Chains A and B, each alone.
Chain A
Amino acid sequence: MSQFRERYENAPYNDIDMRAANYVERREAPGWTDHDEVELEAWLSESVAHRITFIRLNSSWKRTERLIALRSPDNGPDAAPDPHKGTRYLKIAAVFGVFLGLGGFLVTYLTTPPTESYSTPVGGREILTLKDGSRIELNTDTSVRVALSGKERAVTVEKGEVYFEVHHDASRPFVVTAQGHRVVDLGTQFSLRVDKADVKVALLEGRVRFDPYAQTSTKPEVLTSGDVLVASADRVSVNKEPLRNLLASLAWRGGMLEFHNTSLAEAVAEFNRYNQTKIVLEDPRARAETINGMLPINDLAEFAHVAKNLFGLRAENHGDEIVLTR
């Protein structure tokens, strides 16, 4: 099989392939004229080889239409990258949009330390690369403040969910604060989610120290990879989770949601974090059913489709709500 792969990945394509591909691509783009259509028709009727090649390429290219689900609100054609609010004191050395695949990545170099705020709208996602090489990925509806100084790198998560890849530097600790709790990096990758009063920290790799909010009586905890900590206002719990589960909960980084025996009610709640149009599911029996698999974060139609096929639910569109009923 691998031999097969190598072969077709290096496969030379002949003129018919390339010409058919060119038609396939141009035909759905603006600027395709009736004249072009006539030309294509003529070419297709020249030989069966032309026709089957065209149909074959067109068929798979159509399938890739769904890749549009990967588009984040910030990387459309009219994208106006604006991650920095209140940047009066801040010198941005360079801001440029780089597209790397799983959404619009905005790489921002920060040069001077004052506090800087970043936020994403519902359905948004953004990646910040700090000057020290650390990466911060903001999930939907998230706000953070970042202050870098010579002594400390401080990030405050006000709401939402953030994934950190910290470039460790013992002389300049990386400290994340949420609801008064502090997470101090000891060289690591982790995610942190603020959900009302609760803070959840999941360690993918490395170690962090968790200093609970001063008024909580619990002691600091050192978390290692696989640990998931949940801190509410008055208590802290830590569990080990298989890496697989942690990765599943980070599927949003690739624009997806991943469910494992998740109740439909939870899945809907999770999905609604990402979309202005909310899904409403009242049927009590359906709420308890479980769902497995992956869904594109911002594809309401796909969700409705799953609900219909797996659970026999009907989707009614009420403008800003989609109501699922039996």
Chain B
Amino acid sequence: MDKISNFRRATAVSLPGAARGTPMSAADEWFDREVLPLEKLLMQFLERNWRNPSDLPDFRQEVYALVYEAALTEIPGNTRHFVLTTARNLLINRARHERIIPIEAAADIEELGLALDVPGPDRIVIARDELRHLQAALDRLPPRCREAVVLRRVNGLTRTEIAQQMGITEFTVTRYLSRGICMLADILHGEPSNIRRKS
């Protein structure tokens, strides 16, 4: 029986949503389904056009906030174009503000947009590499953090059990897990997306 339920569970398309108490709003869903897979593209764009790398995570969040807010009113038609245009405008504004000579970001948009994320014939086969990809992402976490994530995700232990097994406090387990979740987001969104199964 276990096998059967396992079978069903994994074949069902898992909506990575906040769908528990309240269902995801249209904007939430759009953001999750269409914007997050563009993160690598967005980061490349920002990186190429801004010289201080430590600003980039903030820029990313700002772009996300702007596009999300726009989507609350109306879901944009061409997500990629919209995200990149928003990013470009943000950079231009910042550059003006800081009196930096603006960058030639305009041409880049179409160029990048074409280069990325075109599903090829290998797409399905590549999807089989998902597990390997996830493993590789795991391996980039710091050792203790990784251990906590593995105990949680692979072995399904609770925080209390992880604390016992690792000989640390639950508070520290929580820190490791939270940090692991943040790092995995950077790694997995930053380098998707041929892996993401189309729903």
Chain A contact residues, CB within 8 Å of chain B: 3-4, 7-9, 11, 13, 17-18, 21-22, 24-25, 27, 29-30, 34, 37, 41, 44, 48-49, 51-71, 75-77, 99, 101-102, 254-256, 275-277, 292-296, 299-302, 304-306, 309-310, 317, 319, 322
Could you tell me if B68 and A48 are in contact, using CB atoms closer than 8 angstroms?
yes
Q: Does B49 contact A (CB under 8 A)?
A: no
The one of A41, A56, A276 in contact with B36, judged by C-beta atoms closer than 8 angstroms, is: A56
Could you tell me if B53 and A67 are in contact, using CB atoms closer than 8 angstroms?
no
Which residues B107-162 have CB closer than 8 A to chain A? 124-126, 128-132, 134-135, 137-140, 146-147, 149-159, 161
> Closest CB-CB distance, A90 to chain B, in whole Å?
26
Q: Does B65 contact A (CB under 8 A)?
A: yes
> Closest CB-CB distance, A18 to chain B, in whole Å?
5
Could you tell me if A7 and B53 are in contact, using CB atoms closer than 8 angstroms?
yes
> Closest CB-CB distance, A100 to chain B, in whole Å?
9
Could you tell me if A254 and B179 are in contact, using CB atoms closer than 8 angstroms?
no
B160-199 interface bits toward A, Cβ cutoff 8 Å, 1 = contact, 0 = none: 0100010000000011011101111111111000001000
**Closest residue of A by beta carbon distance from B53:** A7
Could you tell me if A301 and B135 are in contact, using CB atoms closer than 8 angstroms?
no
Could you tell me if A66 and B131 are in contact, using CB atoms closer than 8 angstroms?
yes
The one of B11, B126, B189 in contact with A304, judged by C-beta atoms closer than 8 angstroms, is: B11
**Closest residue of B by beta carbon distance from A24:** B181
- For the complex of A and B, the 3 pairs showing the least CB-CB separation, nearest first, are A301-B10, A21-B178, A62-B16
> Closest CB-CB distance, A74 to chain B, in whole Å?
10
Chain B contact residues, CB within 8 Å of chain A: 3-4, 6-11, 14, 16-18, 20-22, 28, 31-32, 36, 43, 47, 53-54, 56-57, 61, 64-65, 68-69, 124-126, 128-132, 134-135, 137-140, 146-147, 149-159, 161, 165, 174-175, 177-179, 181-190, 196
Chain B residues closer than 8 Å to A44, beta-carbon distance: 18
**Cross-chain pairs A/B with CB under 8 angstroms, 14 sampled:** A3-B53, A18-B175, A18-B179, A18-B182, A21-B177, A34-B21, A55-B17, A58-B16, A63-B16, A64-B137, A76-B155, A77-B155, A301-B6, A322-B7
Could you tell me if B151 and A56 are in contact, using CB atoms closer than 8 angstroms?
no
**Closest residue of B by beta carbon distance from A296:** B131
> Closest CB-CB distance, A96 to chain B, in whole Å?
11
> Closest CB-CB distance, B58 to chain A, in whole Å?
9
Chain A residues closer than 8 Å to B53, beta-carbon distance: 3-4, 7
The one of A30, A57, A293 in contact with B125, judged by C-beta atoms closer than 8 angstroms, is: A293
Could you tell me if A60 and B11 are in contact, using CB atoms closer than 8 angstroms?
no
The majority secondary structure among interface residues of chain B is helix
Could you tell me if B190 and A56 are in contact, using CB atoms closer than 8 angstroms?
no
**Closest residue of B by beta carbon distance from A68:** B154
**Taking A52-B64, A71-B154, A75-B155 as contacts, is the C-beta distance between A294 and B177 under 8 angstroms?**
no
Chain B residues closer than 8 Å to A77, beta-carbon distance: 155-157, 161
**Taking A62-B14, A317-B7 as contacts, is the C-beta distance between A295 and B128 under 8 angstroms?**
yes
Chain B residues closer than 8 Å to A293, beta-carbon distance: 125-126, 128-129
Could you tell me if B11 and A301 are in contact, using CB atoms closer than 8 angstroms?
yes
The one of B20, B54, B165 in contact with A7, judged by C-beta atoms closer than 8 angstroms, is: B54
The one of B57, B124, B177 in contact with A11, judged by C-beta atoms closer than 8 angstroms, is: B57
> Closest CB-CB distance, B62 to chain A, in whole Å?
9
Chain A residues closer than 8 Å to B130, beta-carbon distance: 63, 66
Could you tell me if B182 and A57 are in contact, using CB atoms closer than 8 angstroms?
yes
Could you tell me if B186 and A11 are in contact, using CB atoms closer than 8 angstroms?
yes
> Closest CB-CB distance, B10 to chain A, in whole Å?
4
Could you tell me if B11 and A63 are in contact, using CB atoms closer than 8 angstroms?
no
Could you tell me if B7 and A300 are in contact, using CB atoms closer than 8 angstroms?
yes
Could you tell me if A57 and B131 are in contact, using CB atoms closer than 8 angstroms?
no
Could you tell me if A52 and B16 are in contact, using CB atoms closer than 8 angstroms?
no
Could you tell me if B14 and A300 are in contact, using CB atoms closer than 8 angstroms?
no
> Closest CB-CB distance, B80 to chain A, in whole Å?
17
The one of A61, A277, A309 in contact with B124, judged by C-beta atoms closer than 8 angstroms, is: A309
**Closest residue of A by beta carbon distance from B183:** A9
Q: Using A67-B150, A71-B155, A99-B165 as known contacts, list a sample of 19 further A-B pairs with CB atoms less than 8 Å apart, ordered by residue number in A.
A: A8-B57, A11-B57, A48-B68, A56-B36, A58-B18, A59-B16, A59-B36, A59-B189, A60-B189, A64-B134, A64-B137, A70-B135, A101-B138, A277-B3, A293-B125, A293-B126, A300-B6, A301-B10, A306-B128
Q: How far is the CA of A91 from the CA of B188 in the complex (A)?
A: 46
> Closest CB-CB distance, A50 to chain B, in whole Å?
10
> Closest CB-CB distance, B152 to chain A, in whole Å?
8
**Closest residue of B by beta carbon distance from A322:** B7
Chain B residues closer than 8 Å to A3, beta-carbon distance: 53
Chain B residues closer than 8 Å to A275, beta-carbon distance: 3
> Closest CB-CB distance, A174 to chain B, in whole Å?
30
Chain B residues closer than 8 Å to A256, beta-carbon distance: 131-132
The one of A9, A13, A301 in contact with B140, judged by C-beta atoms closer than 8 angstroms, is: A9
